[in-house]
Structure 1
Amino acid sequence: QRAEQEKQRAEQEKQRAEQEKQRADRLAEQLRLLGINPEV
């Protein structure tokens, strides 16, 4: 059961990281549209 909890927590962390990456990508895209080239 403990392993199951660990697995769920790892899954949540992965999803959160994915959301952060998507948000960063959108932000960079908006900056490009404004003519600002973000250094990645």
Structure 2
Amino acid sequence: RAEQEKQRAEQEKQRAEQEKQRAERLATKLRELGLDPDAY
């Protein structure tokens, strides 16, 4: 059971990592378009 919990936590971590990368790519794209994501 503890093993299951560990696995689920691992999946959550990976998903959070993917979300972060996607957000960073989006921010980069906005900057390339001349928009500053930090200004919003």
Please list the CA deviations of residues 8-40 of structure 1 after superposition, one character each: whole Å capped at 9, or x if unmatched. Answer: 000000000000000000000000000001017
Provide TM-score, normalisation by structure 1: 0.93
Residue 38 of structure 2 aligns to which amino acid in structure 1? E
Structure 1 gaps, min length 5:
none
Q: CA RMSD in A?
A: 1.2
Report how many residues are paired: 39
Structure 2 gaps, min length 5:
none
Q: Larger helix proportion, structure 1 or 2?
A: 2
2:35 matched to which residue of 1? 36
Runs of 4+ deviating beyond 3 Å = none
2:19 matched to 1:13? no
